[in-house]
Structure 1
Amino acid sequence: MTAVPQATVYVAPIVTMDADAPDADAFAVHGERIVAVGSVDAVRDTVPDAAIEELDGVVLPGFIDAHMHMQRAGLKAIDYVSHEDDVDVYMARMQDSFHDDGPEDPPFEDRIRALVRVQPLLHALGITGVVDPAVTIDEMRGYQEAHRRGLLTMRTVAMPFLDIGSPRFPDVDAAIEHLDGTGVSTGFGDDVLRLGPIKVYADGEALKGQALLETPWDDTGYSGLQRITDEDFTRLVQWCGAHGWGVGTHAVGGGAIALLARAYAAAGDAVAERRFQAIHAYLEPGEDSIRALAHLGTIASLQPSIIWHNGSGLRAKLGQRAERANPVRTWLDAGAVLALGSDGPFFPFDPRHLMWQTITRCVAGEDRPLSMAESITIEEALAGYTTGAAYASLAERDRGAIRIGMYADWALWSADPRRVASGELRALRIRRTDVGGRTVYGGDA
């Protein structure tokens, strides 16, 4: 094989997340991409003139938070933390300010400042990409300008938010007219900033009793809030599927998830091609609905953080009915692609904590976990943050694994998450994070 000049060979145990070769001892990077993976000798033979760097830790692919409001997280960061504060302080401040949604209409330059401030904090968690699940027009302008200035170090997939029923988008026709007038669709952009599916709401929040359920919440017969009619939703989904747009739908309750199963079927092959999502999808989804959505190719975009935060309250409202909340195991067994995210900064967003939650099913404020029937393995949790989230980002050929040809997006962990007890998972440290061969945290960042 022809030697590739000016490469760097990194030597360390590697969790590749490549099913064909899950472990390696070295990998080589040339420019932005990985050019060799395997044993130390094989990699050095491939790039004999490369520099050699031995790393103290275990390499994993960079994590992708598949549901992170990054720009809003940055606006809160500039309000709540100083330039000297680290990510642990930031996470504590976000927890303390849970009910503060941040500034509603900030000056435009604050949006740029926000992104510059928050990206290093997220890189410190080993995160190299996000899917921002509800991007307004002003937020999109902020992302685009940060990218133009070369300030966007986080690979970002922006999901345009169409708040149907608002003055700007009073009905589905207004939303369709807006989308049709943009001249673009899902997938437009580059490897730093790309358009994802649109974001719409089918129901409301669970703890407010707004999740649309198939079994009523209580003896009154109230089943929750349906924010869009079956007819309008199906019409929107059909139009999007025919015009290149994916759809990501906030659907918490089983009734809303059943609505997705009915409407997404009308989009046919576009569901998989444009990465349609079932977002949240955690409260009493019917197994028939889950199987139907998985069969269509729908991504299960799930957030263990919400269950961690809301689990106790759901038990108080629903009793035994809450035990299978966030049925990650059921989604996986149905064949769905799992993309894990946080709904940060409003819910906990440390991926170490959230992977631990999917394994242990623990919830805040209670000693007893939710039903362990929905627990998953650490390998499955890692896939949710890497290969699954990369698929949701329309980037499965470029990200999510340490594999030849992929971007050199990786993080150096203090130990292999697969080899520690679940109770030790949250104590692991991130020592370095690289995006496209550039160190963005630790090392020489």
Structure 2
Amino acid sequence: SFYNSKAFELAGITARTPDPPDGRYFKENGELNGRVAENARNVFSRVGKRETFTPEQRRDRARNGMKHMSQLFNACGLTSVHNAGTSQDHILAYEDCRKNGELTHRAYMMIRSPQAFTGLKAANISTGFGDEWIRVGGVKFVADGSASERTMRMSTPYVGTNDYGILTMTQEQLHEAIDDAHNHGFQVGVHANGDVTIDMVLKAYERALQKWPDPNRRHRIEHCTLVNPDLIRRIKANGVIPTPFWTYVYYHGEKWKEYGDEKVAWMFAHKSFLDAGIRVPGASDYTPGPFEPLMAIQSMVTRKDYKGRVWGPNQKVTVDQALTIATINGAYASSEEHLKGSIAAGKLADFVILEKDPHDVDPDQIMNIKVNRTVVGGKTVYGG
């Protein structure tokens, strides 16, 4: 994120202001350059003027936004999504759109709002509550920085620097949060990009699963960007689901040079996860990454960015593997593989008709395949 000098002035941030433990004010030649990372952004939420809305206006805006997103999802061939940042406003928007017949995609709601999480626990509601349209998913926590912003916490520094990235949770905080959610019947999804953070999350999952065994909980590591053979072994052993970015190689391109080839070979490691027998899905992390699934399939198959440069070619997957990642493995990540993720008798009639077969086109052109028709619940919601 970037802020101008007036925002820094209003927030009282100067070049001498120390970084918070879970964020950073970036500098050049000792002066602020406007770039701010992770929880250092929080101070700006209290400065300047904000447009305000009545509760009724806010609810109506949320409903209209959800309706619009349903249309965008359907147009690119999406029938179900996992919303990894669900707030109380989102929950109401899903329900309002459904009542009005405007919800045309299925939602697995991963709860990030502390208020919503507290309310669900008080009502004795946990992961799995709901139906095939709107379902309560896991609870979401954030433990480090980002891959695209080059702030994820790693065991070795970024190329040419002494910067190892940012942690936003301690090991003890992870233990406390995961124990609480696990013990209340929730799947947990922790945002963890760097290898250091992934190790910390796995330690917390391993402890929770040892204290309260549940082999089918399917806890998740959201993004799970930089791995190694030992982390993959532990992910497999504990039934954990990694959800690597699937459009990032294509979309963010040049940013990966700051990691170096050795690291990139173990980033967004769909091939390594599949080889280990892990049912890995894909994830866009929209808005930081595009959500279009055909772009994602092309990105995973070619490992090329938008300029045509290849990053981590050892992690290329086949078209069939990419389609598996995009369909049944996503359903598995929400424990809904018995309902959707493949076309079979007794499953939900959710499918997409494409103009061309992804197997038959130049892999560099997969993202340009036209979506002719999207069907959800047996009803055409896009095309015809």
State the TM bucket, normalised to the shorter chain. 0.7 to 0.9
Output aligned runs, 1:313-392, within 5 Å.
313-316=255-258, 318=260, 320-365=262-307, 367-392=308-333
Output aligned runs, 1:259-298, within 5 Å.
259-268=200-209, 273-283=216-226, 285-298=227-240
- Secondary structure of 1:434's aligned partner: strand
Aligned residue number for residue 128 of structure 1: 79
Is contact 2:137–2:187 with CA below 8 Å preserved after alignment? Answer: yes
Find the aligned partners of 1:290 and 1:109 in 2 and give their Cα distance: 44
Aligned residue number for residue 144 of structure 1: 95
> Deviation of residue 221 (structure 1)?
4.9
Find the aligned partners of 2:379 and 2:144 in 1 and give their Cα distance: 41
Which string of whole-angstrom CA distances, capped at 9 and with x for unpartnered residues, describes residues 103-159 of structure 1? 997721011111222212221222111111111122222222222333212111111
Aligned residue number for residue 11 of structure 2: none
2:103 alignment partner AA? L
TM-score (norm 2): 0.79
Which string of whole-angstrom CA distances, capped at 9 and with x for unpartnered residues, describes residues 64-108 of structure 1? xxxxxxxxxxxxxxxxxxxxxxxxxxxxxxxxxxxxxxx997721
Find the aligned partners of 2:228 and 2:84 in 1 and give their Cα distance: 24
- Secondary structure of 2:79's aligned partner: strand
1:154 alignment partner AA? H
Find the aligned partners of 1:343 and 1:405 in 2 and give their Cα distance: 31
Is contact 1:398–1:407 with CA below 8 Å preserved after alignment? Answer: yes
For structure 1, the 5+ residue unaligned runs are 1-102, 170-174
Aligned residue number for residue 128 of structure 2: 187
- Secondary structure of 1:292's aligned partner: helix
Structure 1 window deviating more from structure 2 (433-442 vs 204-213): it is 204-213
- Secondary structure of 2:280's aligned partner: strand
Find the aligned partners of 1:419 and 1:291 in 2 and give their Cα distance: 35
Is contact 1:186–1:274 with CA below 8 Å preserved after alignment? Answer: no
> Deviation of residue 219 (structure 1)?
7.3
> Deviation of residue 189 (structure 1)?
0.6
Equivalent of 1:439 in 358, 364, 380: 380
Find the aligned partners of 2:148 and 2:380 in 1 and give their Cα distance: 41
- Secondary structure of 1:244's aligned partner: coil
> Deviation of residue 220 (structure 1)?
6.5
Is contact 2:138–2:188 with CA below 8 Å preserved after alignment? Answer: yes
1:140 alignment partner AA? I
Residues matched between the structures, number:
329
Is contact 2:159–2:259 with CA below 8 Å preserved after alignment? Answer: no
Is contact 1:295–1:336 with CA below 8 Å preserved after alignment? Answer: no
Using the aligned pairs only, state the percent identity. Answer: 28
Find the aligned partners of 1:423 and 1:336 in 2 and give their Cα distance: 27
Output aligned runs, 1:204-223, within 5 Å.
204-217=145-158, 221-223=162-164
> Deviation of residue 313 (structure 1)?
1.5
**Would the alpha carbon gap of residues 276 and 322 (structure 1) be closer, same or farther in structure 2, given more than 3 Å must change?**
same
Find the aligned partners of 1:325 and 1:438 in 2 and give their Cα distance: 38
Find the aligned partners of 1:422 and 1:349 in 2 and give their Cα distance: 18
Is contact 1:272–1:298 with CA below 8 Å preserved after alignment? Answer: no
More strand by share: 1
> Deviation of residue 306 (structure 1)?
2.4
Is contact 1:355–1:378 with CA below 8 Å preserved after alignment? Answer: yes
Aligned residue number for residue 417 of structure 1: 358
- Secondary structure of 1:232's aligned partner: helix
Aligned residue number for residue 110 of structure 2: 159
Is contact 1:305–1:349 with CA below 8 Å preserved after alignment? Answer: yes
2:100 alignment partner AA? R
- Secondary structure of 1:199's aligned partner: strand
Is contact 2:144–2:192 with CA below 8 Å preserved after alignment? Answer: yes
Find the aligned partners of 1:208 and 1:271 in 2 and give their Cα distance: 35
1:189 alignment partner AA? G
Aligned residue number for residue 251 of structure 1: 192
Find the aligned partners of 1:270 and 1:126 in 2 and give their Cα distance: 37
> Deviation of residue 374 (structure 1)?
0.8
> Deviation of residue 360 (structure 1)?
0.7
> Deviation of residue 262 (structure 1)?
1.0
Find the aligned partners of 1:221 and 1:427 in 2 and give their Cα distance: 41
Say yes or no: does 1:396 pair with 2:337: yes
For structure 2, the 5+ residue unaligned runs are 1-50
**Would the alpha carbon gap of residues 192 and 315 (structure 1) be closer, same or farther in structure 2, given more than 3 Å must change?**
same
TM-score (norm 1): 0.69
Say yes or no: does 1:299 pair with 2:241: yes
1:306 alignment partner AA? Y
**Would the alpha carbon gap of residues 323 and 312 (structure 1) be closer, same or farther in structure 2, given more than 3 Å must change?**
farther
Equivalent of 1:116 in 42, 63, 67: 67
Find the aligned partners of 1:358 and 1:293 in 2 and give their Cα distance: 21
- Secondary structure of 2:82's aligned partner: strand
Is contact 1:315–1:323 with CA below 8 Å preserved after alignment? Answer: no
Which string of whole-angstrom CA distances, capped at 9 and with x for unpartnered residues, describes residues 8-61 of structure 1? xxxxxxxxxxxxxxxxxxxxxxxxxxxxxxxxxxxxxxxxxxxxxxxxxxxxxx
Find the aligned partners of 2:333 and 2:215 in 1 and give their Cα distance: 10
Find the aligned partners of 1:230 and 1:271 in 2 and give their Cα distance: 22
**Would the alpha carbon gap of residues 289 and 123 (structure 1) be closer, same or farther in structure 2, given more than 3 Å must change?**
same
Equivalent of 1:310 in 238, 245, 252: 252
> Deviation of residue 372 (structure 1)?
1.1
**Would the alpha carbon gap of residues 144 and 275 (structure 1) be closer, same or farther in structure 2, given more than 3 Å must change?**
farther
1:181 alignment partner AA? A
> Deviation of residue 322 (structure 1)?
3.0
Q: CA RMSD in A?
A: 2.4
**Would the alpha carbon gap of residues 359 and 272 (structure 1) be closer, same or farther in structure 2, given more than 3 Å must change?**
farther
